[in-house]
Amino acid sequence: MTAERTTVGVVGLGAMGLGMATTLAGKGFAVKGFDLSEARRTLAAEGGVTPVEALTDVFFDTNFIVFSLPTAKDVAAVVEANLEALKAAGRRVVIIDTSTSEPDVSRDLAAALAGLGHGFIDAPVSGGPAGAASGKLTMMIGGSDADVALAGPVIDAMSAKALHVGPSGAGNVAKLVNNLLAAAHMVTTGEGLKLALAAGLDADEALKVLNAASGKSMISEVHFPTWVMNGRFDSGFTMGLMRKDVRLASELAARTGADLPLSGAVAKLWAESPLENAEDFTRMGAFRPVANDN
């Protein structure tokens, strides 16, 4: 299957979805994009995407449909609202859900769509808007071997790394674990630098040590130099989104009986932070007073 013969729909043209849609269009796929916002549809059109005003239009004449939506509830609602279109489709459609969703929801949707002759892959992503726009995302994939293989060309076009970690729901689990750790690293790195300052060590010098030693993480190597140390706090990922992911990870821990005392403390910090949901999540790493310019 070549890009030129493949039509891909993209539902949700936000910071991530828009980048994925334009990346696919740039790599030769015929892309149809839907978003509730006319402004986002216009931006997509400027990037080579065919905008559609009705969500149902995405489900006709597409081989693959990429979701980039806020919550599992949104993902389920879009599928349920378009079941008739899927039932009438004369071809196998594979949905690639890049949202940070919930494992049980993905498993239920995969089972329901399999019964209709279609596929559903949970494929949450890491790499932010820049990774989406450049096709260099990391994707954590849950789904059947057959569906993942079928969607391979689309996945490869959007990602630099694609890790098929198990059956339906496994990608969601991996993403929640990843984001729980990222949330913890944001807090602990900020506290480490705060301690360095209090003890008389320059924070920039302390960060150099962390990133040359065992205390490093992607948060310390990328996020702090890019968005925290300079006070920019504009990574494009909000407090509200990280709060949601930490909450979902905590709920998963409760359902599975996993005892996570430190993660519980991290979840409490994120839930009770006075920072507004619209603010950038990197503000949680602030280790010295900063002006809130939002």
- Whether 175 sits among the annotated catalytic residues: the reply is yes
Q: Is 176 helix (H, G, I), strand (E, B) or coil?
A: helix
Q: Under a CB-based contact definition with an 8 Å cutoff, are residues 90 and 63 in contact?
A: no
DSSP 284: G
What are residue 257's phi and psi, to 5 degrees? 80, 15
Q: Under a CB-based contact definition with an 8 Å cutoff, are residues 281 and 235 in contact?
A: yes
Q: CA 10 to CA 65: how far, in whole Å?
A: 6
E strands, the chain, are 7-11, 30-34, 50-51, 64-67, 94-97, 119-122, 125-126, 137-142, 159-166
Which one of 32, 175, 194, 216 is the catalytic residue?
Answer: 175
CA nearest 75: which of 172, 152, 4, 148? 172
Beta bridge partners of 140: 163
Q: CA 32 to CA 54: how far, in whole Å?
A: 11
H or E element at residue 243: helix 239-256
Cα angle vertex 167, ends 138, 13, to 5°?
A: 45
Q: CA 5 to CA 165: how far, in whole Å?
A: 28
Q: Is 165 helix (H, G, I), strand (E, B) or coil?
A: strand
Other C-beta atoms lying within 10 Å of the C-beta of residue 290 = 11
Catalytic residues: 175
